[in-house]
Amino acid sequence: MIFVNQIVQGVLLGGYYALIACGLSFMFSVMRIINLAHGSLAILAAYALFVLADRFDVSPFLGLIAVAPAMALIGAGLQRAVLERSARGGLLVPVLSTFGLSIVIDNLLFQQFGADTRSLAPYIGDLSYDSWPITDDIAIGKLAALTMATAIALLGGIQLFLNHTQLGRMIRATAEDSDTVGLVGVNARRVNALAAAIAMATVAISGAFLAMRATFNPYAGALQLIFAFEAAVIGGAGSLWGTLLGGIVLGVAQSLGASVSPQGFFLAGHGVFLLALFLRLYFGGFGLRLRRVVRGQA
Amino acid sequence: MSALPVLVVERWTPESRIALAVAALAAVVLTFGPLWLGANSVDRLTTLFIYVILAVTWNALVGYCGLVSIGQQAFFGLGAYFAVRLADSGVSVYPSLFLAAIIVGALSLPLSAMMLRLKGGEFAIGMWVIAELAHLLVNLDTLINGETGTSLISLNAYATDERRALTYWCAFAAMAGLLAVVFFLLRGPTGAAIQAIRDNEQAAESIGVRVTRAKRIVFVLAAFGAALAGALWVATAVTFQPKTYFSPQWTAYMIFMALVGGLGTFEGAILGAVVFFAIEAWFGGAGVWYLVGLGAAALVFALALPRGLWGWVEDKTALRLLPVGYRVRFLGERAVASAPPSDKSGT
């Protein structure tokens, strides 16, 4: 029975991983860039929400109304100032420049907020610990359920947006061939900036949920990037729903690993990632691939 | 009558012969370093040698082979770990440093089979995951005491001055050896192969470059270099705390050194290590702002000057001090009698 509980909690944890991986794989699919500052930007959003809650008594959910658009603007700016230039330099430059950016963000946050770990849990009342008991052993936390619901809503929303709106079609076309879309009157630069803005808005949301369910510090971004990457690689089966599946696999593996040994949480997570990678590389047709999530829609 | 350009293909130039002579002289002077330098200078130079090892091997991987790894701290940490492990199990401490690097180099060989199938950003973060995993696995060894860490206790067998000099010589020998290996590797067919792969992998493969083999050589060399640097670092620092050795900040340092000095230039990596060493000496005390500056410099150089300081010098002056490539020099024009063969129109 204890394992059933571990699996249930793991699935719910997977909701958070799907949230944080969603922006990473969306950006990769549109712009072919893996943004190494992804995790650091999520932590930046978490600190912004923390400041709003701590200094101005703004609830994190209300705070997101301001922070998500602000992060979207940062995303568009980032695309114009850094990513676009990097992408022209080949495969090498985006990795180097976004890693440099993550160092800058992490250390500026440390400069501003110090090494203290923070959390948004005190600002959301009993949501942080309330749960619905299912059986004697199993209880579903309300916050974890909300995280999962948000992940499903966000992934579904992006999918609908990509499939059924003019802008969504433009993003898909740009991902397919950014030179040719110019011929039919699409401004690829603007579309990429929009895609980066959407990705960063999802980063703001995932930062909020990270900060509500756990603690964070200025250097927590690296681990979030790794989790996001692992979830995206495990589940990137060609659709955004693959990201959700990848998040759940990662969460369940970590949760089961943690029940075996204290180190097991991370070991099992990295282990399942390497297993998925191995399967994909040696049995490529398996479809486990961090690839064009957007193209998979077509 | 027409004119044909007279071109010579050359590798060694007068400047580069002078540079090589200066380098050889510097090597001789540095060999006797501990005999005439103060204790502080010896320690500092040892640190510089380790930086050069990190910069040159990372540059070979990234600048020449085009494989950006964010996870070289995996090898750095494992090198330090195996040095501690071997020394604990009775191996004499200085041989264990080199033995540790050989073990890590051997371990990187099977790892390369999987990781080298990844491209670009996937390879970069995949290596980072490997580093995290290596960190966790090392923590499982009870000798290490988890994050508390342990020390290279057997160094106590040596008096302080003796230990300082021995570590210096080990670091110097490691640096000189690795510089020579990387220099000759880059000059040889493998050097041409990896640069072809970096510039266009499919095209390289189509003209018969054995892509996987060439990449593997550089991957293992870079792993060996990082591991040797880690083992030497634990010999200077004495304490081994997994968290500091498996920290991505080592990769940040390598990126800074290679990018600022000149990615894909042999001299540039050495220059970058010296620049980093100087900046650390002057601004290291500035703490967080120092790290912000390193990150910002990496960002700016990646965007604006991707071939770094030395790449800029090379472009401006055509100066090659330690030539690993060839260059074509234009000597003038020579008059020839025959008509250009391509002109067949009309007749």
ipTM score of complex: 0.81
Highest mean pLDDT among A42-56, B36-50, B146-160: A42-56
Quote the pLDDT of residue A60: 83
Chain B within 8 Å of A84 (Cβ-Cβ)? no
- What pLDDT, in 10s, does the model give residues B133-145? 999 898 888 887 7
Kindly give the interhelix angle for B266-283 and B288-304, rounded to the nearest 10 degrees: 150
Which residue, among A293, A296, A298, A297, has the nearest Cα to A32 in the 3D structure?
A: A293
DSSP string of chain A, one letter each residue: -HHHHHHHHHHHHHHHHHHHHHHHHHHHHHH----TTHHHHHHHHHHHHHHHHHHH---HHHHHHHHHHHHHHHHHHHIIIIIHHHHHT-SHHHHHHHHHHHHHHHHHHHHHH-S--B-SGGGSGGGGT-EEE-SSS-EEEHHHHHHHHHHHHHHHHHHHHHHHSHHHHHHHHHHH-TTHHHHTT--HHHHHHHHHHHHHHHHHHHHHHHHHHS-B-TTTHHHHHHHHHHHHHHH-BSSHHHHHHHHHHHHHHHHHHHHH-TTHHHHHHHHHHHHHHHHHHHSGGG--B---TTGGG-
CB-CB contact of B81 with B144 (8 Å): yes
For chain B, give the percent of residues with pLDDT over 90. 19
The confidence score (pLDDT) of residue B345 equals 45
CATH number at residue B47: 1.10.3470
pLDDT higher than 60, residue B33: yes
Q: Please name the member of A34, A91, A102 whose beta carbon is closest to the beta carbon of B66.
A: A91
Please compute the mean of the pLDDT values over residues A150-161 and round it to a whole number: 89
Instruction: Spell A139-176 as b/e; 16+ CB within 10 A means b.
Output: bbbbbbebbbebbeebbeebbeebeeeeebbbbbbbbe
Residues in chain A with CB shorter than 8 Å from the CB of B289 are: 107, 111
**pLDDT at A288 (0 to 100):** 41
B298 with A100: Cβ contact below 8 A? yes
Interval B51-60 mean pLDDT: 91
**pLDDT tens-digit map of B98-128:** 999 999 999 999 998 888 888 777 888 889 8
Closest partner residue to A93 (CB to CB) among B140, B252, B306 is B306
Which pLDDT belongs to residue B62? 85
The pLDDT value given to residue A291: 47
For chain B, positions 13-52, list CB contacts with chain A under 8 A: none
Rounded to a whole number, what is the distance in Å from the CA of A289 to chain B's nearest CA? 11
pLDDT band at A290 (very low <50, low <70, confident <90, very high): very low
Q: How far is CA A45 from CA A69, A225, B264, in A?
A: 11, 14, 36
Nearest CA in chain A to B295: A100
Rg value, chain A, Cα: 19
Q: Where do we find the tokens 């029975």?
A: A1
The 10s digit of each residue's pLDDT in A70-129 is 999 999 999 888 888 887 777 778 888 888 899 999 999 998 888 888 887 777 777 777
With residues binned 3-state (H G I as helix, E B as strand, rest as coil), the percentages for chain B, rounded to 5, are: 75, 5, 20
Of the candidates B66, B126, B288, the beta carbon closest to that of A111 is on: B288
Instruction: Tell me the domain boundaries of chain A.
Output: 2-297
Task: Flag whether B13 is in a domain.
Answer: yes
Q: In the prediction, which pLDDT does B82 show? A: 93
Q: What is the structure's pLDDT at A41?
A: 94
Residue B290 has pLDDT above 70, yes or no: yes
> What pLDDT, in 10s, does the model give residues B199-252?
887 888 888 778 788 889 899 999 999 999 999 999 888 888 888 899 888 988
Report, as an integer, the average pLDDT of A264-282: 83
Does a structural domain hold residue B347?
no
| Count of A-B CB contacts under 8 Å | 122
Average pLDDT of span B192-196: 80
Chain A CB within 8 Å of residue B88 CB: no
Average of per-residue pLDDT across A211-224: 88
A256 C-beta neighbours (distance < 10 Å), count: 18
Measured at the CA of B300, the angle between CA B55 and CA A68, to 5 degrees, comes to 120
A57, with CB counted inside 10 A (0-12, 13-18, 19+), is exposed
Query: HSE (CB half, 13 Å, CA atoms) of A171?
Result: 31
A95 touches chain B (CB under 8 A): yes
A113–chain B Cβ distance below 8 A for any pair: no
Q: What CA–CA distances, in Å, run from B84 to A27, B7, B233?
A: 42, 56, 11
Report yes or no on B320 lying in a domain.
yes
Query: Which among A95, A104, A271 has CB closest to B120?
Result: A95
Identify the weakest region by mean pLDDT among A205-209, A293-297, B20-24, B61-65: A293-297
Q: Going along chain B, which residue ranges are E strands?
A: 2-10, 150-151, 239-240, 327-336
What are the phi and psi torsion angles at A118 (to 5°)? -120, 170
* DSSP 3-state of B2: strand
How many Å lie between the alpha carbon of A38 and the closest alpha carbon of chain B? 12
In a domain, B84, yes or no: yes
The chain A residue lying nearest B258, using CA atoms, is: A96
Residue A289 is predicted with a pLDDT of 45
Backbone angles phi, psi at A293, to 5 degrees: -60, -40
- Compute the distance between CA of residue A270 and CA of residue A268 in angstroms, rounded to an integer: 6
A115 touches chain B (CB under 8 A): no
Average pLDDT, chain B: 83
* pLDDT band, very low/low/confident/very high, at A239 (cuts 50, 70, 90): low
Nearest CA in chain A to B131: A270
HSE value, Cβ hemisphere, 13 Å, CA-based, for B177: 13
- DSSP class of residue B61 equals I
Residue B28: band (very low, low, confident or very high) from pLDDT cuts 50, 70, 90: confident
Whether pTM > 0.90 for this model: the answer is no
How far apart, in whole angstroms, are the C-alpha atoms of residue B210 and residue B194?
9
Residue B32 lies in a domain: yes
Looking at the domain assignment, is residue B53 inside a domain?
Answer: yes
- pLDDT of A297 reads 42
B82 within 8 A of B100, measured Cβ to Cβ = yes
Residue B3: its pLDDT value, please?
A: 77
CB contact under 8 A, A100 and B297: yes
Contact B126 A91 (CB under 8 A): no
State the average pLDDT for chain A: 83
Rounded Cα distance between A166 and A179, Å, is 18
- Domain count along chain B: 1
Confidence (pLDDT) at A238: 54
Closest of A104, A138, A202 to residue A2, by C-alpha = A138
Residue among B118, B126, B255 minimizing CB distance to A96: B255
Give the CATH architecture of domain A2-297. Answer: Orthogonal Bundle (1.10)
Q: How far, in Å, CA of A129 to CA of A144, rounded? A: 10
Would residue B76 count as lying in a domain?
A: yes
Q: Residue B341 has what DSSP assignment?
A: T
Residue B88 clears pLDDT 80, i.e. is over it:
yes
Residue B318's domain comprises 2-336
Is position B342 within any domain? Answer: no
- Candidate from A34, A85, A103 with C-beta closest to B125: A34
